[in-house]
Structure formats: C-alpha cells, structure tokens
Amino acid sequence: MPTSSELVPSPRYELSRWLFLRLLALVYLIAFASLAPQLRGLVGEQGLLPAADLLERAGEFYGAAAWYEFPTLAWLGAGDAGLLAICWAGVVLALLAGAGVAPVLTFALLWLLYLSLTVAGQTFLAFQWDTLLLETGLLACLYAPLGWLPRLGGGREPLWVARWLVWGLAFKLTFLSGITKLVSGDPTWSGLTALTFHYQTQPLPAWTSWYAHQLPAWLHMGSAVVMFGIELVVPFLVLAPPRFRRTRLAAFALLCLFQVAIAATGNYGFFNLLTVVLYLALLDDATLVRLLPRNLALRAAPGVWRREPAPWRAAVAVAASGIAVISMLTLWHEVTYRQGRPEWSDRLVRLVAPFRSINGYGLFRSMTTVRPELVVEVSRDGLEWREQPFRWKPGDPGRAPGFVQPHMPRLDWQMWFAALDPAGAEVWLQALMEHVLDGTPAVTRLLGEPPFPGAPPRHVRLAYYRYDFTSFEEGRATGDWWRRELRGYVMESERSP
C-alpha cells in the first residue's frame, strides 16, 4: 500500500524557476537602464564623486590588495567611456538573460557588472536594493539551468539546494526587516507610532503619501501591528515544507500585498519589484499553471526529469554550503548587533564583505521623525536668490510629490541622507555646488530646470529647511502639499569673475 507521501506528487519548480529568472533579468534591465543616464554626473570624470579618484586612492592605500577590497571592472577604465561600457553591457546581457541565453553565464556576468558599478558608484549605489540585487543575482547563478539555450519543459530539474537558498533569502530579507526595528530600541517602533511619521519623512514620497499621512493615529498603529505580523510571522511560512502548497501561497499573497502597499505610498526604485520576484520563487509549477497563460502551462507540462551533471551539482552544493553559513551569520549579526559576538564570525563576514553579495537587511530600523531638506539656491548678483529645483525630491511646497519608480533617481535619494547629516556628505555636496556654478552638463542634467536660463549663476548656497505635510485644511486653503520653515544655511560658494 502506498504511503501518504507517495500519494502526493513532489512539487515541481521548472516553470517557477523559468519565471523567476526572466523577471530577475527584467529587474537587472531596469537597474542598468536607470543608472546609465546618471553615471557621468554621479561618478564620471566630471561627476560628484569620480570613480577614478576613488580607485587612485584605493591603489595608493591598499596596493595590490585594492583589487580585492574594491572588486570592480572599473580598474580597467574608470572614465566615462569605461563606466558606460559596463552599464550598457549590463543592458545587453539582461536582454540575453531574459531570452534564456546561457543563463548561468549571463547571470554570472550580470552579477560581475553590477558589482563593478556598485563599487565604483560609492554612496550613490549603496542602497539596500543594490545589495539585494547582487545577492539575488549571485543565487541565480546557482539556480539557473546549464546549457546555451535551455528550454522550458526540457526536464532540467532545479537543484533543491539552490532553491532553498533563494527561499532563505526571502526569509532573511523579510524577517530582518521586522526584527531589526524591534532590537534597534527605536521608541516609535516599540510604541507603534512610527507610521505617523513615515509617510512624510521617507526619502521620496508620492502624492499618495500625503493622503496616507492624514489617516488617524489609531489606523497608523493598527497598520504597524499588521506590518510586524507580516514581517515577523509570515516569513516562517516560507520555510514550510514544499508539500504545504496553500500555506506557501498564502505567504506569497500576504508578502506581495505588503510590497504593493509600500510601492503605492512611496518611491523605492526597483526594490518592490525585485522583492516580489524573490517571493515568486516560493510558488511551485502546479500553482503557477493556474495563474499564467495556457501556452506557458503546456510548455511546462511535466515529463521525465534530467539531472544536471554530477560535477555541477557538487560545485553548487559546496558553494551553497558556504553561502548558507555566511548568510546565517549576517542574520545573526543584524539581530544581535548591540551584543558581543565571537570575533571569528566578524572575520568571516568581513572576508566576503567587499563583494556585497551576502548581506544583512533592515530598512527604516530607526524611524526619522522630522524631515529636514537641503534646498539649493542660486543667484547672479548675491542679492536675488532663486531655488534650483531637483527632478523628484521635495522642493517647491506647491509641487505635488510624484511617482518615479522603478527608476531610481540616486542624487535625489542621497539628498535625503545629506539633509540628515550634512557634514557626512560635505565632500560631494561641495562638489555639487561647484558644478552648479560651473554649469557642468553631466551634473546639471541630474537637476531640474535652471532658474536663471543662459549663463550659470555666480553664487550658490544650501538652505536648511524643515518640511511637513500640510493638513487637509491648509491644503485646501493654499494648494500646497508642504509647509516649510527655514532653519539656516549650511554652505555657500561663489564663482570667481
């Protein structure tokens, strides 16, 4: 008599993997294409933080070890041409990966190219979704099928150890997003009041953020409870045995709805899309065939499995073991970051840290309760000052916050961090002011329309404001989305005659 496990067929993940890899290729495409027009102004030859200067200093300090500490192809050329070549090569490879061409090779090259840009990009490519894309991309190299053009329905069995790494990353990302808020000791999270501040203090709000901010305090507190439930409880459903299909489907639905809610009330680049792609790997083929077009379901019809070659399976198992150990250490480090840890664990994590591909996560672990803003003001005569707008960050109180995702406007985002700590961003803020005075095209293209058409201004300064959303009553009376209060000036510079 067959056992209960024999009566229930083992879940298959060939279609699941096919969809995961193609959507991951789409995320890579968005990331590279979004970055390409910004590269020259951010880290190009005449950018805010030239990559060539970084590598020159690294070479002087580290010597031969600089290649390890700063692993980037920009060592072969950190000028505009070299950086753009890396970026556009990423666009081409993302298209090839989306077409299913040599997936192991293309995803390995995509990982290398994006790593190269994150290193060269310095603070402008140091966001959580940049490291998440690198970590997901690294795992995709192990999860992808071998072959030059493997077809869907070809019977290539996805390696279970690689699949569990992807599931583990989904767990780690979500669980750490919740637990770090609690262990940080931030009183707004422990008191469930964080969301009363979040919508107006997040880096790039959307117009929907204004409406979300107006909701009553009790609803914000209830939303925080739901959020903690999703981030702290639902991740454990991810680890349920594969045969519990409905449990995994419920986890997928809750996690994706949470990402939709985040994306609907703020701008986080490609983060929400990438996270949903990661969650898609939780679904098996039997679930997906009910959700996808019929032709895909037919192409993925079950047949006889063909196992990958033994040497490849062994190599993946070894790599997966190392990744799993360090990944668990990064999770442990984030949870216990205020407590002592064995020195060996720190050394092991630091060993792979330059590659930014096995990470801890914890967005908004400490909630910002006020919104400072740096406003660039320019003048021709030092008497009449006008505001130099940015493309997306808050400026004019009457301009509605917009949606820009999945594009990632990196200067606008970094201006939020600079407002929180102007001294920490002094180097590139000073460079920004100098480029505004010089009218450097690569930099001014990152900004909005100049307030003085024609020649660049003679004077520039950074005004320090506090911004708050207007209330319903203020909005109706003035038409403004923001009210702001000048707190002083941070920097000032002028161009010689």
Residues 209-229: pLDDT tens digits? 999 999 999 999 999 999 999
Cβ(183)–Cβ(335) under 8 Å? Answer: yes
Tell me the CA distances in angstroms from 25 to 331, 348, 409, 437, one per residue in order. Answer: 26, 30, 20, 40
Q: What is the pTM of this model?
A: 0.95
Residues forming a β-bridge with 379: 385, 459
Residues 113-170: pLDDT tens digits? 999 999 999 999 999 999 999 999 999 999 999 999 988 877 778 899 999 999 999 9
In 3-state terms, what secondary structure has residue 378?
Answer: strand
Buried b (16+ CB within 10 A) or exposed e, 158-180: bbebbbebbbbbbbbbbbbbbbb
Cβ(141)–Cβ(111) under 8 Å? Answer: yes
Residues 29-55: pLDDT tens digits? 999 999 999 999 999 999 999 999 999
C-alpha 283 chain-centroid distance:
23
- Using the structure block, give the residue that is written with the tokens 């077409």: 99
The secondary structure of 151-193 as a DSSP string is PTTS-BPPPHHHHHHHHHHHHHHHHHHHHHHHHT--HHHHTT-
- Alpha-helical runs (H) found in 409-482: 410-420, 426-438, 441-444, 472-478
In 3-state terms, what secondary structure has residue 387?
Answer: strand
Q: Compute the CA torsion angle 294, 299, 302, 307 (nearest 10 deg).
A: -150
Instruction: Give 211's contacts (C-beta < 8 A, 6+ positions apart).
Output: none
Q: Does the pLDDT value for residue 274 go beyond 60? A: yes
Q: Compute the CA torsion angle 88, 93, 95, 101 (nearest 10 deg).
A: 160
